[in-house]
A = this chain, B = another copy of it.
Amino acid sequence: MTDRGYLRHIRSCNPPINERFVPWFIENQVVGWLRPWLVEVLQEQVAVFVVSEDRVDLAPALDSFEARSSALAAVVEWLAARELINPPMGEAYPVTPAGRQAALCIMDRSAAAYFGVRAFGQHLNGFVRKADGMYIWLGRRARDRLIYPGRLDNMVAGGLPWDVSLEENLFKECAEEAGLSENVVRQAVPVGLVSYNRVAERGYRPDVLYCYDLELSPGFTPQNTDGEVESFTLLPVAEVARIVRETDEFKLNCNLVIIDFLLRHGYIEPQEDEYLELAIGLRRPLGAGLSVTG
């Protein structure tokens, strides 16, 4: 296996699953995946979870969004008090069998990672058309960031909490990270998504990144306002593609957003050997690699 090329990033984001995860159901739909140790602990929460050999179900008596959310919040506090999971972050994530609009309840972001709940984010490609071709704006992450300090990032990228609309969150992230006005951000085009299933330290992690393209005027320079970005740089598409192929300079999932950009704009062409695997690999079904039995 080579350590160059585009495909290795897709494979890194979708590692083979070599351990057991137990599906978690609400109303007979899978909303998450749990490690066996957590399933065992949840057996004590008889009012909230129905635990059997092959699955965990939220108690059917919890039959409303509010009832489910408050029962889960109490379980999260209980787990955190026993130091089995990290303390709540105070940020709500949707718990959903489908898109975020279809959420059946919410759960604290920190706990959601242990419950294998779907996570949603927004990544924006800022680009400029010049006489000699397209250029892409990249951010360099601040050195004091917890995750991937000093690595390259998409111009704007952020997670999506439950209680904010896609538009509001994009406005907020674009203002904080790159100093973009709402008028400019309104020109951003939603262009699809990438999806993948990771196994992180805390658990199974199905991820969806909504992707946006934003054409910027050659005179514009992004300005970070929240300290998360050390600097911005504008590079020709071919150079960005080379960085993705030949280095690990990018935060891992940002590689997929760039590969998607390259595919959509014809910089990766269908006669290339990996084209089919790349195109299908960028849109992995959530829950891929796991199975529901019984």
A-side residues, CB < 8 A to B, are: 98-99, 101-102, 165-167, 189-193, 195, 208, 210, 263-266, 269-271, 273-277, 279-280, 282-286
Contact = CB atoms under 8 A, between A and B. Distances in A.
User: Among the interface residues A192, A282, A286, which one has the most CB atoms of the partner chain B within 10 A?
Assistant: A192
Contact of A271 (B165, B279, B283, B286): B165
A280 B285 contact: yes
A192 B274 CA distance: 12
5 nearest CB pairs, A to B: A189-B266, A99-B276, A283-B283, A210-B270, A190-B266
A264 B266 CA distance: 13
A276 to B, nearest CB: 4
Contacts of A208: 276
A36 to B, nearest CB: 25
A270 B193 contact: yes
Given A193-B276, A195-B280, 15 more contacts: A99-B273, A99-B277, A101-B271, A165-B271, A166-B271, A189-B266, A190-B266, A190-B270, A191-B265, A192-B263, A192-B264, A195-B276, A279-B283, A280-B285, A283-B283
Given A266-B190, A271-B166, A98 B277 contact: yes
Contacts of A282: 283
A101 B207 CA distance: 31
Contacts of A271: 101, 165-167
B195 A275 contact: no
A192 B273 contact: no
A102 B264 contact: no
14 contacts: A98-B273, A98-B277, A99-B276, A166-B270, A189-B265, A190-B270, A191-B264, A192-B264, A193-B270, A193-B275, A193-B279, A208-B276, A280-B286, A283-B283
Contact of A273 (B102, B189, B269, B277): B102
A121 to B, nearest CB: 11
Given A271-B166, A283-B279, A285-B280, A191 B101 contact: no
B283 A280 contact: yes
User: Among the interface residues A165, A270, A285, which one has the most CB atoms of the partner chain B within 10 A?
Assistant: A270
A101 B165 CA distance: 43
Contacts of A98: 273, 276-277
B191 A275 contact: no
Nearest to A283: B283
Nearest to A118: B276
Contacts of A192: 263-264, 279
Contact of A191 (B99, B263, B276, B284): B263
A275 B189 contact: no
B283 A190 contact: no
